[in-house]
Structure 1
Amino acid sequence: MRKRDTVRRTTAKEVAAAAGVSKWTVIRAFTPGSSITEESKRRVMEAAAALNYSPNLLARSLATNSTRQVAVFVDDFRNPQKLPFLETLTERLQAAGLVVMLININNHFDHVHALLHADQRQVDAVILFGTAFRDETLADRKLGHGMPPMFVLARDSQIEGVPAVVCDAELALREIVDHLHEKGYRRPGFMSGATALSTALRRRQHFTDFWAEKGVDKIELLSAEKYSAEAGATSVHEYLSRTAPAERVDVLMCENDILALGAMDEIRGKFGLRVPEDIAIVGFDNYELGGSSAYSLTTYEQPRFEMVEAIIGMIVGTTEAETVTLPGKMIIRNST
């Protein structure tokens, strides 16, 4: 088979010759903020357009010590609530001139391997998004100093020196408990998801604390193995099957909307109970499906856009790299 022909890229030197300027003038013309006269820039851009030239960003990164690449680690792709966040995050990163490297954390590619991979790619930053990241991971002997800066999005950071951008869980759960107490509920339950992530979200602890302030010390705790509708359905099925009707909770707070939707389907479909008359349901995150007439789920909306903008500001250096906590918004619907 005949070897496929390749097209040679136009070089900065060739553009410089065509424009009658130096190679460094061409480089400055394509570097934002560089000192160059308007006339020189015009000549360079005309020559570049005629020769179909575009700058080599990989070569430029060697000179600037910045690849403009950001790695995003995700380990729960099956959770559909991740998609709106990922859409906003990737859109805003790209608008800031950054390239997104999405890394799937799984059984074959853990956090240590992902960090080493990202470091070898010389990314400018790593965003830990919904990942079960632990302190001991950073203590791994394979990881040394000089790793790219890390940031945690949408959960508390458990790692010293790694800032997080989070929705104010304390404020959110206070508003939720106040609403439920005002509606007359007195036998609350809480369904948590994956253990490592649940601890970092701190929603269960705040839920328990605020009910205790109102004189309600007994909280029925349910646990789902992962954040999925199936796991939510399984957890509430086990609870209802072993609990007499008179002893059941009158309101169930689920750690996120996906768990809540699965729980609602099981409560109404398999047990024939009514929501909210028999058991009220609350979620968290304001997943789009939860707002449909089929569910009309009461929930809490995280300030997604503001959270993403805050973390990008830290990465590009326009704001100080420190943990930021932002308020969200209570969404009251028919499920309570």
Structure 2
Amino acid sequence: MAKRATARDVAEQAGVSKWTVIRAFTPGASITESSRAKVMAVAEKLNYRPNLLARSLATNLTHQVAVLVDDFENPYKLSFLERLTLELQSEGLVAVLININEHFDHVHALLNADQRQLDAVIMCGTAFRTEMLQDVRLDGAAPMFVLARDSQIPGVPAINCDTTLAIKDLCRHLHEKGYRRPGFMAGPKTLSTALGRRRAFKAFWKAHGITEMPELAAHHYSAASGAEAVRRYLNEVSPAGRVDVLLCENDVLAFGAMDVIRSEFGLKVPADIAVAGFDNTLFAAAPAYDLTTYEQPVEAMVKAAVAMILGREPKKTVTMPGRLVVRGSA
């Protein structure tokens, strides 16, 4: 194999110091344009590229960010990860995607990220718990951020959608449409990532004189879990006592619920039971679902998180408004 060109090789041919070569490849470094141009011309001739590993040892920065995900069954995650990785890469950062599962939990992931000296950790899942993460917080460890979820972890900022405003907008629309027997389908219960959607939902309807609100429990954020939850509910409750509108904690649960409502029980959406979701995923607009939902401000949340990682903004919890998307399901 041909020997790989080094910064010293470029410096010798360009007639500059090694540190001038390093500055030429460092954004914002102090160097004249003529020196930069000379270095770049020789670098191109020698096919030289900076050694990022060596640079990380010198700067104590790896320009790598761990992204922890534990709910890959949720289709919302694909578009979300696309936006996140695009923003990281545009800033010269690389995402290290870590699949959290029964064999590799959040504790292992955080310890692993610390050993690899990653610059930051972004948690995009639902199953991490306050007490579990506090046990592995290390002095000097990479800063952690919770993205698109609430956080009750001291010192860990969350960048998320304004839950109270979102649910109020959804419920106000449903109330104006005349629905008076609301039900809520919740995903798996967690501690540090409690979404607060259930709480805001109950508060709205209670303020409007409605206190009986059935809660359907889904064990996972998946269409299969949404289907199972609504199937169990419809089998147990007589037609006269059923809800007239079901708000699901996210779109994928709503997809599963709608499939069962129509295909297994022969009911119509929204004539018999209206359904609404949350996230405005790709399939929400498909004619098969035509789902009323709420869109999170993904791009703004991602930009805010990356700005905090880069030190351009103070590390603090931020909530942002999204938008209600009304379609035919409710």
**Normalization by structure 1: what TM-score?**
0.96
CA contact (8 A) 2:152 2:193 kept: no
* Candidates 139, 146, 153, aligned match of 2:140: 146
* Candidates 274, 283, 286, aligned match of 2:280: 286
SS at match of 2:190: helix
CA distance in 2, matches of 1:35, 1:260: 55
**Residue of structure 2 equivalent to 1:200:** 194
Q: Give 1:12 deviation, angstroms.
A: 0.7
Coordinate RMSD, CA, aligned: 1.2
Matched to 2:63, the amino acid is: R
Structure 1: 5+ residue runs without aligned partners? 1-5
SS at match of 1:10: coil
Matched to 2:305, the amino acid is: I
Size of the aligned set, in residue pairs, is 330
CA distance in 2, matches of 1:313, 1:40: 31
Q: Give 1:199 deviation, angstroms.
A: 5.9
Matched to 1:132, the amino acid is: A
Alignment of 1:244-263 (within 5 A): 244-263=238-257
Q: Give 1:198 deviation, angstroms.
A: 9.7
Q: Give 1:143 deviation, angstroms.
A: 4.6
Structure 2: 5+ residue runs without aligned partners? none
The answer to whether the aligner puts 1:222 opposite 2:211 as a matched pair is no
Q: Give 1:277 deviation, angstroms.
A: 0.7
SS at match of 1:227: coil
Q: Give 1:197 deviation, angstroms.
A: 7.1
Residues 287-310 of structure 1 deviation map (CA, whole Å, 9 limit, x = unaligned)? 111111111110000011011011
CA contact (8 A) 2:218 2:226 kept: yes
* Candidates 176, 185, 194, aligned match of 1:182: 176
**Residue of structure 1 equivalent to 2:97:** 102
Range that drifts further, 8-17 or 194-203: 194-203
Residues 199-232 of structure 1 deviation map (CA, whole Å, 9 limit, x = unaligned)? 6111011000010011111110000010111111
* Candidates 301, 316, 329, aligned match of 2:323: 329
Q: Which runs of 4+ in 1 moved over 2 A?
A: none
Q: Give 1:196 deviation, angstroms.
A: 1.4
Range that drifts further, 167-176 or 286-295: 286-295
CA distance in 2, matches of 1:261, 1:135: 30
The answer to whether the aligner puts 1:312 opposite 2:325 as a matched pair is no
* Candidates 7, 16, 40, aligned match of 1:21: 16
**Residue of structure 1 equivalent to 2:151:** 157
**Residue of structure 2 equivalent to 1:50:** 45
The answer to whether the aligner puts 1:211 opposite 2:174 as a matched pair is no
Matched to 1:145, the amino acid is: D
CA contact (8 A) 2:130 2:191 kept: no
CA contact (8 A) 1:73 1:129 kept: yes
Matched to 2:174, the amino acid is: L
CA distance in 2, matches of 1:143, 1:150: 10
